[in-house]
Amino acid sequence: MKRTRVLKMPRRSLSTFGITNIDYYMLSRVEEQTRVREGRVVSSRPEIIKPAELTELFEGFGEDEEEYGKEIFEIFGKNPRILNYRFRNEARSVSDTATPLREVFDKLKEKTAGKEAPLSAIIEGIDSAWQISVMKFIVDMTLKSAGENISDLEDKGMFPDEHGIPQNIRNRIEHLFAEAEKTPEALNKLGNFLSEKNLFRDYEDRFFRLLKKK
C-alpha cells in the first residue's frame, strides 16, 4: 500500500444518486518491462445507514451489545451521517511492453485527458499486489467523495432523524395532510403513503381525527 501511487485521479467524484463506473490502468514494473492492467471499478449507489441499524453492526459482544452499541454511537451524535459503499472490480486485460513506465503513463494521460473520460484513473504499484493498489485507490477516492455525497443527501433531506424517518418523507407527509385538509379525496392518497412507508401507526391518531372531521 505504501508503494501505491495514484498518478491520475478521476476528475469527478463518486455519484451520490447512482452507480459510478471508473476505468483504471494499473502500471507496474516486471523485470525489464512495463505491465499494464486495464479494468473497471463499479461503485454502487451509497446507502444511508439508519441510526436503528447501527446497533446491528455488533454481534457476539454479550447480551448488552445493543445497549453498548447505542452508547458508542451517541458519541457521534444522535444522527450520525454514515454511508455504506460497495465496490466490484472487473479486470479486463493485461499486457507487457518494453516502453518505460513513465512513457506509458504520459501516453495514457493524454489518452484519458478528453471530456469523454472524466472517470478514469492511472495507478502505479507492485504487480504481485496490484489488487491492493486498486483497493487503496478506490478507498482514497471514496474519502474524497464522501463529504460531497453527504452534502447532496442532506440537501435532499434524505438522512433519517432520531426516529428513523428522513426529513423529505416528513415533508411529504405534511404536504399530504395539508392537501387532505382541503380535499377529502386526498385522504386516500395520504393513507396509502403512510402505509407504504410503514408509518401509519405514527400518524394514525392525527389521520383519524382528520377523517372524523371530514
- 3-state secondary structure string across the chain: CCCCEEEECCCCCCCCCCCEEEEEEEEEEECCEEEEEEEEEEECCCEECCHHHHHHHCCCCCCCHHHHHHHHHHCCCCCCCCEECCEEEEEEEEEEECCCHHHHHHHHHHHCCCCCCCCEEEEECCHHHHHHHHHHHHHHHHHHHHHHHHHHHHHCCCCECCCCCEHHHHHHHHHHHHHHHHCCCHHHHHHHHHHHCCCHHHHHHHHHHHHHHC
- pTM comes to 0.73
In a domain, 14, yes or no: yes
Q: How many residues does the chain have?
A: 214
Please indicate, yes or no, whether residues 125 and 177 belong to a single structural domain of this protein. no
C-alpha cell at 13: 467524484
Please indicate, yes or no, whether residues 30 and 103 belong to a single structural domain of this protein. yes
Domain stop point among 155, 175, 199: 155
Q: How many domains does the chain have?
A: 2
In a domain, 70, yes or no: no
Tens-digit pLDDT profile for residues 131-166:
999 999 999 999 999 999 999 998 888 888 767 788
In a domain, 90, yes or no: yes
Please indicate, yes or no, whether residues 142 and 172 belong to a single structural domain of this protein. no
Distance (Å, whole) CA 111 – CA 124: 17
CB 78 within 8 A of CB 162: yes
Domain stop point among 155, 175, 202: 155
Please indicate, yes or no, whether residues 200 and 116 belong to a single structural domain of this protein. no
In a domain, 194, yes or no: yes
Please indicate, yes or no, whether residues 12 and 90 belong to a single structural domain of this protein. yes
Distance (Å, whole) CA 20 – CA 13: 9
Q: What are the angstrom distances between the C-alpha of 85 and each of 6, 34, 105, 109, 200? A: 20, 32, 29, 28, 31
Residue 212: the pLDDT is 83
Residue range of the domain that includes 207: 167-213
Residue 64: the pLDDT is 79
Please indicate, yes or no, whether residues 105 and 131 belong to a single structural domain of this protein. yes
What is the pLDDT confidence band of residue 81, given thresholds at 50, 70 and 90?
Answer: confident
Please indicate, yes or no, whether residues 138 and 208 belong to a single structural domain of this protein. no
In a domain, 55, yes or no: no
CB atoms within 10 A of CB 13: 18
Query: Which of the pair, 158 or 41, is modelled with greater confidence?
Result: 41
Please indicate, yes or no, whether residues 93 and 142 belong to a single structural domain of this protein. yes
Please indicate, yes or no, whether residues 17 and 101 belong to a single structural domain of this protein. yes
51-55, 82-86, 113-117: least confident range:
51-55
Mean pLDDT of the 38-45 span: 95
Q: How far is CA 96 from the centre of its chain?
A: 35
Residue 57: the pLDDT is 66
Residue 54: the pLDDT is 64
Query: Which of the pair, 114 or 144, is modelled with greater confidence?
Result: 144
* Average pLDDT of the chain, as a whole number: 87
Please indicate, yes or no, whether residues 38 and 117 belong to a single structural domain of this protein. yes
Please indicate, yes or no, whether residues 101 and 136 belong to a single structural domain of this protein. yes
Please indicate, yes or no, whether residues 145 and 104 belong to a single structural domain of this protein. yes
